Each structure stands twice: as C-alpha cells, then as structure tokens.
Copies of this chain bind each other. A is one copy, B any other.
Amino acid sequence: MAAPPAPAGPGDDAAVVYATSGSLVVTTDILVESRHFRLDWSSPYDVGRKAAAQNLADVVAMGAWPTALLIGLACPPATRLTVTDGLADGLRDECAETGAAVVGGDVVSADQLIIAVTALGDPRGRAPVLRSGARPGDTVVLAGTVGRSAAGLELLRAGVTTGPLVAAHRRPTPPYAAGPDLARAGATSMIDVSDGLLADLGHVARASGVVIEVDADALAAYEPAVPAIHRLTGGEDHGLVATLPPGAVLPSGVRPIGRVLGPADPDDPAGPEGAAGTVRVVGADVPADLLGQPGWDHFGAAGN
C-alpha cells in the first residue's frame, strides 16, 4: 500500500503526526505477558510484530492507512536487553509493512511485562468504515487468513512447535492493503477478525440491525487446511471481514463467504429468519461441536 506522509517523532513532549484530511482513526490495546503472549512460545521479535499487527489491523478495518504507533512498555527490572530490543525490532518491522512508524513511547519498570500499543491511521478523506453500515442484500466478504492462529495455538498446547499454523499463531499476517481497498470498493461495514468470525460478525449484525448468513462451505473452500471450528470461532489472525453492496467489484484477495439479510418480519413467514443481530451458519460443513455450544447462543449461530 502507498506510504502516507512520514510522521514526525521529534522526541519532544509529543510527536507530530500528519492527518491529511481533517480526521484520523485511533485505537489502543494492552497486552500482558502469559495472558496475551508467552515468551516460551514466541520470540520477543514475534511478540512485537503481533502487538503491532493487532492494532494496525484495527486501523485498516476502518478503511484507513496506518500512519503511526505509540508504545508504552512496562517491564520487570531484570528484563534482558535482547527481549526489549526484540520487541522494538518487531514493532518497527510490522509498522514498516504498512508504511507507518513508531513515533513515541514510554518505558517504565513493573512486576510484569506489559505492552500498550496505540495506532493511528489516516482515512485520507473517506468516511471511516464502521460496523454499523451492513445492509440487506450486501455480500459478506473475507480477506486474509482465518482460524490459523487458533489452530496453531492448539498445536503449541499439544507440544508442536513448528509448521505453518504455529507460525501463523506466533506472527499473524493481516491483509493490510485490503482495508483501504475494501473501503474504496464501497464496503458498507468492516471489522477485523480478532474474537472469531462468528463473534465479530455478531458485532456487525448487532450494530447494523441485520441478520448475517455465513456459508460454511464457501468458508471451507477459502481456508481448507484449518478445522471448521477454528474457521468459525478462532480469532487473532486479524483477517478482515466486510460487507459489499450488490455490484461492487471484489478487490484482489477478497472472496465472498456469505450474505446480509433483513431481520425476520412476523408478517412475512416466507421471508428471512432470525432477529436483528443474528449470525446464521448454513451449508454442509457446520461443525457439530459448534451447534452444541451454549456460548454461541448469543450470536444466534445456527446450522441447517
């Protein structure tokens, strides 16, 4: 993706960041060792890349171009320099994938290693793509990987420490360019998949007041090497899921996986089923363990 104007980080009281079009998007996340990452499973460099990636993915999910990252690092006094250097290198290199730069930060001493990341992005004059704009008739589309991080985590827990799924858990590769591409293609809503596809589509369905139907078979064809349960519920790959209006041209790397329906109309028993905010899974490939899980009830996931 094209690089935005270079931000200035003068080491002053605050950094100066350009915002070319009168607004910007900003997001923050806080990551705690042994809760959000483990240094026995991931290198400090990979933790740095992942910490940046999850915030940069939030920026592109608004259709904006990442411009700047700020880092707050709390670490125990005994933290080795190889750890902090690795984190810093990973944060810097993941930023570089998007044209953004680390422009500021703060380092303090604490009992536990904690990384606070704030990411800024420039929507370049386009209205940010929110979760609330999905409309009946839209196509649900996906970019990037889904479920690989969760599958990799399962392998790590089982003692497997190599292979592409484990690598995907250690260092997700969000489809950064697809965010602005989908905004340009007219995306009516967008979100990055951080909680799991069904959970995140639930956020969109509720914010938009619609029913979202996921085609489990299209999803299986999209991501065949991942168990169905992880495709539907695994987060942290930070793929992008968006809704596009009829007739929109799909950007490169983007594929349809479902559709948006209106909520059920009690006067039209032949119309679509489900209350606003519902996510339904259709197709032959709905995993049995999903259907039985009470945890998914509030997302209204239902096979047929």
Contacts and interface: CB of A to CB of B under 8 A. Distances in A.
Interface in A47-85: 57-59, 61-62, 64, 68, 70-74
A192 interface: yes
A14 B66 CA distance: 12
Contacts of A192: 13
A106 interface: yes
Contacts of A15: 25-27
Interface stretch (A110-118, A220-228, A252-260): A110-118
Interface string A169-187: 0000000000000000000
A17 B22 CA distance: 9
Copy count, this protein chain: 2
Instruction: Label chain A's interface by main secondary structure.
Output: strand
Interface in A1-47: 10, 12-20, 22-32, 35-36
Contacts of A231: none
B72 A72 contact: yes
A191 interface: yes
Interface residues of A, number: 59
A174 to B, nearest CB: 12
A235 interface: no
Contacts of A26: 14-15, 17, 68, 70, 103-104, 118, 120
A167 interface: no
A121 interface: yes
Contact of A111 (B73, B103, B111, B116): B111
B32 A74 contact: yes
A119 B104 CA distance: 12
Contact of A109 (B10, B35, B73, B109): B35
A118 B13 contact: no
A14 B110 contact: no
A16 to B, nearest CB: 5
Given A22-B18, A121-B14, A128-B16, A116 B61 contact: no
Contact of A24 (B17, B71, B111, B112): B17
